[in-house]
Structure formats: structure tokens, C-alpha cells
């Protein structure tokens, strides 16, 4: 008799105390109808509420539930990566803890995995319930990342995905200081399949992805997979230098005709413009130098301070 396959569900949780039991109940209900063993692995990302208390209670009640608890908040991407590292399943599915990633879609993801796909990821359909600013900022995020990086990501690609065990092992062991998993998983290749989905309403709490976090994620996505911003900086520098040379005839004319004072405003404008471009180029270069600096420290992406004793693995 073939051994029953194990499916690990990785759930990053930051201040999700009111959602922990809800998502657990829905997952158990879905897997009662599926021919798999289940591991539910919560990753407590330094929550400040009662999330960890709920996780301890769940793990004590059900041996299928495991948890990791970080020493502080390391971020959503680090939490997902930790889940890939410690999950024991033949396939690992990452999804949010707030029920916006619908558990009812899990049989569809697993069916594609059984067909031979090693990465089954989801693409969020346009949600008209979101405000104009949220929809626009999300769309702009993907356009910027695709325009400036070498890895192309579909508009709406989410961290709701299934990875085969061998893919999860590869992603978990990549030594990225600032992981951008949507790009990393596209980069590693393997046989991939996309499924559209419509997010459900959040059960409780608020979204943890603020505008500043989206901006930081976009910077990580661009600088992790491309040096195009550096190429762009070179082009900007070249164009501005050429435009500056056009001022040379005017400077010479002003010198010989004693009209120096008349050109003061244009000169100040040119100095301000050139100074701004120089700071822009230095900022781009500085981003890459900063990433090199942080990478050379070889600090861990996350630190686990506590974990359950049920089925937690590790590569």
C-alpha cells in the first residue's frame, strides 16, 4: 500500500489571534474530504496580541497543528520562507491567515500538483470592493517590478501557492538577505501553473501590507533580480551631461559680452537639476551597495524563539 501523502499548510500570522481558530476549522473541514494527511504550520511573526496563546492551545489539542514563533517581527516573506524550511509535507501550500485566500480552492491546487505541476500559484482577480488607491497602487507595483527587473510577474500574483517538496527545499535554502518570494519562485523555474482566484472578505483585523511595506517590497523585487536601475542611472547621467553641454555656448557668450548676471537664474536652475540627478544616481547605486553590505553580514532571515513539538521538520 502506498504511503499517504502529507500536505503542509503554511500560515504566516502577525496579530491574527482572532483568525487562528477560524482558518484552522476551515482547513480541517476541507481536508476531511481529501486523501491526504494534513500538517498546519503557523508562523507567528512576532505578534503583539494573543496569537501565540491560541497557537499553543491548538497544537496541544491537535497533533496536526504546529507553530514557529519568531523572536521579533521579521516580515511576511521571512515567515513564508521559514514555513518552507520547517514544513514536512510532500507539498507545501502557503496562504494568509485572514481567510482572504479561500481554503475551498485547495483541492484545485492539489489536483494540478497531481497532474505533475511543481509550482501551482494563484493570481488575484481585480477586486472592486477595494478602494481606487489600493487597486492602483497594487497595479503600479507589478508594472514597476516588471519594467525594471528581469523576472516577469503577473499582475495580481499572490503568495497563495503550492510548491512541491523539492521546490520548497530549493527556495528555503536560497541565501537572500531580503527575500522576494514571488520573484524567487519565478526565477527557480520548474513546471508552473497559474490559477485565478477571487479573494474572500477578511474575517477580522486589518491588512498588514501598508503602502510603505508595498514600496519596500517593490524595491526588493527590482534590486534582487536586475541591475537595470544601474543601467537606467547611466543613461540618465549621459542624457543630462549632453543637455548640460548645450549650455556651453551660452556661458561663453555671457562671458565675452558681460551678461553674467543675466544668466544667474538659468545657471542656478542647471545646478539644481544636475544636483538632483546626481543624488538620484547615487541613491540607486547606494541601494545596491547596501544590499551587498547586508548580504555579506550573512545574518539569518529569521530567528525562531519557540516551536511546537508535534511534526516540525527542517531541511
Helix ranges, 104-174 (H): 106-114, 132-148, 165-173
Over residues 299-311, mean pLDDT: 77
CATH topology of domain 6-206+301-307: Spore Coat Polysaccharide Biosynthesis Protein SpsA; Chain A (3.90.550)
In the chain the first and final C-alpha atoms are separated, in Å, by: 27
Strands (E), the chain: 6-13, 37-44, 65-70, 91-94, 119-124, 157-164, 192-197, 304-307
pLDDT of residue 10: 95
pLDDT of residue 222: 58
Helix (H) or strand (E) holding 179: none
pLDDT greater at residue 261 or residue 140: 140
Q: DSSP labels for 34-90?
A: SSSEEEEEEEE-S-SSSHHHHHHHHHHH-TTEEEEEESS---HHHHHHHHHHH--SS
**126: exposed, middle or buried (C-beta count within 10 Å: 0-12, 13-18, 19+)?**
exposed
Beta carbons of 302 and 79 less than 8 angstroms apart: yes
Mean pLDDT of the chain: 78
pLDDT of residue 187: 83
pLDDT of residue 149: 64
Between the alpha carbon of residue 147 and those of residues 52, 142, 153, the distances in Å are 40, 8, 10
- The predicted model scores a pTM of 0.70
Per-residue pLDDT tens over the stretch 192-229: 998 888 877 766 556 555 556 666 666 665 566 665 66
Given CA atoms 292, 294, 299, 303 in this order, what sign does their dihedral have?
Answer: negative
Per-residue pLDDT tens over the stretch 155-206: 777 889 999 999 999 988 887 777 788 888 888 888 999 888 887 776 655 6
- How many residues make up the chain in this entry? 315
Q: Strand, helix or coil at 147?
A: helix
Dihedral of CA atoms 268, 269, 270, 274 in degrees, nearest 10, equals: 100
Per-residue pLDDT tens over the stretch 71-80: 898 888 889 9
User: What whole-number percentage of the chain has pLDDT above 90?
Assistant: 25
Amino acid at each position: 500500500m502506498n504511503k499517504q501523502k502529507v500536505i503542509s499548510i503554511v500560515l504566516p500570522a502577525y496579530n491574527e489571534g482572532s483568525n487562528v481558530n477560524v482558518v484552522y476549522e476551515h482547513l480541517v473541514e476541507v481536508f476531511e474530504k481529501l486523501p491526504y494527511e494534513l500538517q498546519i504550520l503557523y508562523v507567528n511573526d512576532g505578534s503583539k496580541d494573543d496569537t501565540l496563546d491560541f497557537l499553543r492551545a491548538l497544537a496541544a489539542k491537535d497533533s496536526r497543528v504546529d507553530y514557529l514563533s519568531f523572536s521579533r517581527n521579521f516580515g511576511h516573506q521571512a515567515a513564508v520562507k521559514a514555513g518552507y524550511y520547517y514544513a514536512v509535507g510532500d507539498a507545501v501550500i502557503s496562504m494568509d491567515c485572514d481567510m482572504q485566500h479561500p481554503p475551498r480552492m485547495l483541492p484545485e491546487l492539489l489536483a494540478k500538483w497531481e497532474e505533475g505541476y511543481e509550482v501551482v500559484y494563484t493570481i488575484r482577480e481585480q477586486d472592486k470592493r477595494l478602494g481606487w488607491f489600493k487597486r492602483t497602487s497594487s497595479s503600479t507595483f507589478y508594472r514597476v517590478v516588471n519594467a525594471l527587473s528581469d523576472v516577469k510577474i503577473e499582475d495580481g500574483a499572490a503568495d497563495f501557492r503550492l510548491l512541491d517538496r523539492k521546490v520548497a527545499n530549493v527556495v528555503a535554502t536560497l541565501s537572500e538577505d531580503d527575500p522576494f518570494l514571488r520573484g524567487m519562485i519565478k526565477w527557480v523555474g520548474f513546471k508552473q501553473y497559474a490559477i485565478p482566484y477571487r479573494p474572500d472578505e477578511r474575517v477580522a483585523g486589518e491588512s498588514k501590507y501598508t503602502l510603505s511595506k508595498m514600496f519596500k517590497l517593490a524595491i526588493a523585487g527590482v534590486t534582487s533580480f536586475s541591475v537595470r536601475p544601474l543601467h537606467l542611472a547611466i543613461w540618465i547621467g549621459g542624457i543630462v551631461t549632453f543637455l548640460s553641454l548645450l549650455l556651453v555656448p551660452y556661458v561663453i557668450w555671457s562671458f565675452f559680452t558681460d551678461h553674467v548676471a543675466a544668466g544667474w537664474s538659468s545657471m542656478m536652475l542647471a545646478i539644481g537639476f544636475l544636483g538632483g540627478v546626481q543624488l538620484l544616481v547615487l541613491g540607486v547605486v547606494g541601494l545596491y551597495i547596501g544590499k551587498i553590505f547586508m548580504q555579506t553580514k550573512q545574518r539569518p532571515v529569521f530567528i525562531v524563539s519557540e516551536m511546537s513539538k508535534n511534526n516540525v521538520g527542517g531541511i
